Amino acid sequence: MKNKKNRLWFGLPLLLVLLGLFYSYRPTGSIPEIVEKRGRIDVQQFGWSAAEIAVLRSLWIDSLPPLPADPTNAVADNPRAAALGREFFFDTRFSANGEIACATCHKPELAFTDGRARARGLSKTRRSTPTIVGTAYSPWFFWDGRSDSQWSQALSPLENSKEHGGSRMQYAHLIYKDPEYRKKYEAVFGPMPDLSDRNRFPEKAGPVDDDEPYEAWEAMSEPDQELVTRIFTNIGKAIAAYERQIMPGKARFDEYVEALIANQPAAMQKTLTPEEVAGLRLFIGKGMCISCHFGPLFTNHAFQNVATEIAPGLPKDYGRFRGVQEVIRSEFNCLGKYSDADKGDCVELKFVKKSGVDLMGAFKVPTLRNVAETAPYMHSGQMADLKRVLLHYSRAPKSALGRSHLVPVNLTAEESIQLVAFLHTLSSPFEE
């Protein structure tokens, strides 16, 4: 009986090895050669299992669901609002010095980023400029999620002393005095109030850091403050209607998945190189990139602490830990009086996680669509290129603040090169 049991245990590993050889077998030769020999090919024979194909399909741009409604913005899908918002987006008059527009930092030719480690308006800020491509799908905005709508995000830089540096009263007068802007504004939002009385409506006023416009704002009546803030809010909602249309186009990766699904091996071989395919395998496998960068936009829209070092010359950045408190306090959040949402909306804000060590030093997971065009990387541009990013993720250092979500993946130099090659296949034209 004992000998029989020993023979059983001896034979089991051999059986497993044989099974492994059977299931790991892949035909050799190029795809066209195999097609010629065997006729129509099952793409699973080229290394993709049914489960992996399902994952690749989930990343495919054609799997992107229809854009959900934005209940906070009544003109979110109004074409006239979007056209007006596009004009606002590129107009440098929406700044204190007449030289800065939204497009100053969000340059279309750089996938709506600016190529800088840290954004620069009137002066340098503490964070890098994230892309706005595809962000209409996100429930949170900015690296720390301190806004919960595109329009509230658009408002913040306009009054920030380091960015546009203007005031809401200044912007209201700009629209009021420009005949074309006023006509287009009123076609979307209705008649503007009479702002001609400078005693009631000074040239510059707003709850900003600059003493003079701040004092002028404090001297205004609350009803007049609300009138002006409504105009200011509508500026943001028009810009958001434009930004909402900016979406990534089809990348080479998407063409590869399309060919895979259609069982067109020759097209697959033509679309991605072997090195890029190897990088894709690492992306969904050993590299564990897909644990955060999943879905057609390659992001989970969440906040993660990835142990990024503090940028030289900057204080500790608490990220989401403080950002969540800012969005809760914001007058422009989903539950505020300037939002168009109903009481039953705003689920994200109502049930948002308000505290916890996992929020400390956590930042928004960015999309990887067009990632090769948006260097430098991380929330303050700490990493110059993708090779540096992958080295960081491979080593997974401890976080100087909070608790890191990373685990070491120990990529080899060759694997890092393959992953970088794959990430370049996510570049595409944008649609607006």
Domains of the chain and any CATH numbers:
79-247 (1.10.760.10)
Residues sharing a CB contact under 8 Å with residue 17, sequence separation 6 or more, in sequence order: none
Whether the CB-CB separation of 169 and 246 falls below 8 Å is answered with no
pLDDT at residue 17 in the model: 34
The three-state secondary structure class of 303 is: strand
CA max distance for the chain: 104
pLDDT digits (tens, 9 = 90+) for 66-123: 999 999 999 999 999 999 999 999 999 999 999 999 999 999 999 999 999 999 999 9
Whether the CB-CB separation of 109 and 262 falls below 8 Å is answered with no
For the entire predicted model, the pTM comes to 0.88
Spatial separation of the C-alpha atoms in residues 404 and 258, rounded to whole Å: 36
Angstrom CA distances, 54 to 1, 60, 260, stand at 47, 10, 11
pLDDT at residue 78 in the model: 98
Provide the residue type at 158 as one letter. Answer: L
Enumerate residue ranges in the chain where pLDDT < 50.
1-41, 43, 45
Whether the CB-CB separation of 173 and 203 falls below 8 Å is answered with yes
pLDDT at residue 344 in the model: 87
For the chain, give the number of residues: 432
Helix 150-159, helix 168-177: angle, nearest 10: 100
Within a 10 A sphere around the Cβ of 5, how many other Cβ atoms? 9
Report residue 306 CA to chain centroid gap. 16
Whether the CB-CB separation of 340 and 71 falls below 8 Å is answered with yes
The three-state secondary structure class of 75 is: coil
What are 286's strand-pairing partners?
none
Provide the residue type at 303 as one letter. Answer: F
Q: Which long-range contacts (CB under 8 A, 24 or more apart) does 93-100 make?
A: 93/174, 94/158, 94/164, 94/166, 94/171, 94/174, 94/235, 95/121, 95/122, 95/158, 95/164, 95/165, 95/166, 96/122, 96/164, 96/165, 96/166, 96/170, 97/122, 97/165, 100/163, 100/164, 100/165
Whether the CB-CB separation of 99 and 92 falls below 8 Å is answered with yes
Spatial separation of the C-alpha atoms in residues 390 and 283, rounded to whole Å: 11
Spatial separation of the C-alpha atoms in residues 345 and 351, rounded to whole Å: 11
Angstrom CA distances, 403 to 26, 143, 231, stand at 42, 17, 42
